[in-house]
Every structure is written in C-alpha cells, then in structure tokens.
A = this chain, B = another copy of it.
C-alpha cells in the first residue's frame, strides 16, 4: 500500500540530473577584454605569442660576457685573465664585440655582445685595471638567456579554457597579447518566491522570514564567475510567477528559490513546464532534493529549495557545473579536493546521495574530517561552520568512523 499523497514519486539520480542540465547548457559566446582585466577569466581561444621571449640573447646575471672557450682551465686558485673591452648596460643595443682573450662587463638583462657566448658571475671575478680575473670554467651558454628560450614567436602559450592567474596576466603582457578573447560571464537572474519572505533588516511578524537565499545565491554565482542580478521576491501565485519567469528568461540563466517542494503553493515547476520544458523535479540528494530544472525561452531555469542550506547544496551540485560549462571550464564543481579521515560515522538515506558538511583539521600529520551535527536541512549555521563536504553515494547507508573520505573544500584556507 502506498502512503504517498503528493510526495515526490521518484527522484532523479544526481548523475542523470546533471547530464540533463549539461545537455541544455552550452558555452557562451566570447568577448574581448584588455589583458589587465582578464584575471580569473577563462580563455575562449588559444593564445599565441607575438614575440620571442626573451626578445634577444641576454645576460642572466651581472658579470662579464666572455667566450666560454677562454675560460677552460680556470679554477678558484688559477684564474684566467681577460682584457675588458667595455660594458653593456640594460636597455640599449650591444655595439661591442668580444674577441678572444676579451670580456665585456654586462648587467643582468643586457643584450649579449657579439662574440661572447657565456657570462661569468661578478662573484667569480676580480678586476684589476683594464683586466678581469675569471675564477671559474664556463660552458657555452652559461648564464645567457637565449632569444626565444622561454617562448617562441608563433607558439601557443596558453590554451583555450585556461583560467588566467597572475602569471598568465604577466605572460599576456610579455607576449604582446594586450587584448584577449575570454568566455563571457553568464548573467544570472535570481528570484525568491514565497509570501513569507521579507527583505534583510525588516522587522518580522509571526510566520515571516528573511529572504537570505537571494543573497547567498548571488554570492555563490559570483564566486564561480557569474554576474548575479537579484530580481527580488515574487508572490506565490501563478500569474506573478509567470511574469517574473518571463522577465528572467532575458538572462543567461535563472535561479528561483522556494516553491519547488510539493506543497500547495509550490508552483515553480508547474510554471516552468507551462512556459517551456520541465526536465526534472526532485533530485536524489539530501539536502537539496526539491530541485527542479527546465528550459524557458532557451535558457536554463533552476527551481531551488527554499531552505537556505538545501538551496546552496543544490546550487553546488547542479548549478556550479552549469555555470562553469558556460564559461568554457570543466563542467564539475571545481572545489579543491583533499583526503581526510572521518572522525565519526555518518549515516545517509538509502536511495539518495548524502551531502555531509564537515570541518577539516590537521591532526598528527593527517587531515581529519568531522561531520557537523545537524537537526535538519534548515540549519544555515551548518554551512558557516563547514570547511567543506563529502558525499555518500545513493547505494550506501553510511560511512564508518575512520574511513578515508574525499572532502571538497568550500574554500581554502580553512
């Protein structure tokens, strides 16, 4: 006998739900930005060097440019004596030529004078009038940065999809790539439904609560490269929701929190189905189960749970990979992963993937993950106390104390 009334008759497994989401989400068209504003953006095309790096053979240390062959046999006790024919500074062409038995003073970064093929460090020399004593034997090329040894003109230096860190910004500068094509940042509409919602800072009457989701979801969107736009709170009626969802379809993606559970006022999945296509409603994860996904006006629409923790967990599991895909990044959650030992057993509901928030600490040289005790999915402090989370597969009832687990970290440092 079934005791279900209007409950979810079936949950979609996370892997299947994610596959459906990703089948409807594609990379956005790229945009061109100045390289110095490209930090943390993903490249939309391979970048090719326009120059050789270094652009000329140059001294890698302060010292004397010499012919390596002239130093053969030099030791600390038996130096070689060379005649100094001049010096080459940084920033100008080398007009000197170094012949046999000769040396030229060079500064780090100075172009190599013709004839010279090595630089002896100043620490291994001693000057005496017009001469310099060399106390070390040098192989050809020693302390010389050869033209193009770092990067060759025409070479692919950074591949499509690369996330730009400070060193890549420097590389773009050095190789003359002053404009780069990067993935456009997805604009994400954020809506919260519910008669009970009031804005942060409002005085509450009984039954009312603060809309925290609009803000935590906006921050979550921002933290994975998207541009959030809060469109505010929507009353729980079909007409208001229809209007709000139509407006949201002008963005690259929409997140609607609340109204996707199975109560009477849970209209979001119905309105998504009405205006477009509903692909699933109910995902086999806990928390985060009452999540819906569909497409309205060609744009991905997520109905996220109203509980703050469930909304953020569902965001991590399904929205993050989608936002990353839109930016040309791997369609995963993208959190750093570490191995840790479980400090306490955890139990999970069979048939649903458990997402267990944990604290992580170092103990006796290994990482220990301590599950955070929670009374329900409404406990927001379980997220603020967490360093990360682990997942318990659908077909596993729990994990034993002491087992090795993979923890995804919300953010480093802890």
Q: Per-residue 0/1 for A241-279: is the Cβ within 8 Å of any B Cβ (1 yes, 0 no)?
A: 000000000000000000001111100000000000000
**A200 CB contacts on chain B under 8 angstroms:** 35, 172-174, 176, 178
> Could you say which of B108, B174, B213, B409 contacts A210, with CB atoms under 8 Å apart?
B174
Closest-CB distance, A139 to chain B (whole angstroms): 13
Judge whether B122 and A215 touch: CB under 8 Å. Answer: no
Is A220's beta carbon under 8 Å from chain B?
Answer: yes
What copy number does this chain have within its complex?
2
Judge whether A91 and B6 touch: CB under 8 Å. Answer: no
State the CA gap A54–B204 with chains docked (Å).
Answer: 11
Is A358's beta carbon under 8 Å from chain B?
Answer: no
Interface residue total, chain A, C-beta cutoff 8 A: 114
| Closest chain B residue, CB of each to CB of A163 | B411
Q: Per-residue 0/1 for A375-392: is the Cβ within 8 Å of any B Cβ (1 yes, 0 no)?
A: 111111101101000000
Q: Per-residue 0/1 for A45-75: is the Cβ within 8 Å of any B Cβ (1 yes, 0 no)?
A: 0000001011110001010000000000000
Judge whether A379 and B149 touch: CB under 8 Å. Answer: yes
Is A28's beta carbon under 8 Å from chain B?
Answer: no
State the CA gap A308–B204 with chains docked (Å).
Answer: 56
Q: Per-residue 0/1 for A170-193: is the Cβ within 8 Å of any B Cβ (1 yes, 0 no)?
A: 111110101000000000000000
> Could you say which of B5, B150, B412 contacts A334, with CB atoms under 8 Å apart?
B412
Is A111's beta carbon under 8 Å from chain B?
Answer: yes
> Could you say which of B111, B123, B158, B209 contacts A4, with CB atoms under 8 Å apart?
B123
**A126 CB contacts on chain B under 8 angstroms:** 3, 5
Supposing A150-B381, A207-B111 touch, asked if A167 and B91 sit within 8 A by C-beta, the answer is no
Majority DSSP secondary structure for residues of A touching B: loop
State the CA gap A170–B223 with chains docked (Å).
Answer: 14
Judge whether B90 and A176 touch: CB under 8 Å. Answer: no
State the CA gap A125–B1 with chains docked (Å).
Answer: 12
Judge whether A173 and B5 touch: CB under 8 Å. Answer: no
Is A413's beta carbon under 8 Å from chain B?
Answer: yes
| Closest chain B residue, CB of each to CB of A93 | B206
> Could you say which of B123, B167, B330, B411 contacts A312, with CB atoms under 8 Å apart?
B167
Supposing A5-B127, A376-B145 touch, asked if A62 and B263 sit within 8 A by C-beta, the answer is yes
Known: A62-B261, A91-B195, A167-B308. 13 other contacts (CB 8 A): A5-B123, A5-B127, A7-B121, A35-B200, A36-B218, A54-B209, A91-B196, A111-B206, A111-B207, A165-B410, A166-B222, A169-B215, A336-B336
Q: List 20 A-B contacts (CB under 8 A).
A: A5-B125, A7-B123, A55-B204, A90-B195, A91-B207, A93-B205, A108-B261, A145-B375, A166-B219, A166-B222, A170-B213, A170-B219, A170-B383, A172-B200, A173-B215, A174-B210, A178-B200, A336-B412, A336-B413, A338-B338
List residues of A whose CB falls within 8 A of some B CB.
1, 3-7, 35-36, 39-40, 51, 53-56, 60, 62, 76, 89-94, 107-111, 121-127, 135, 143, 145, 149-151, 157-158, 163, 165-174, 176, 178, 194-197, 200-201, 204-220, 222-223, 236, 261-265, 306-308, 312, 329-330, 332, 334-336, 338, 375-381, 383-384, 386, 409-413
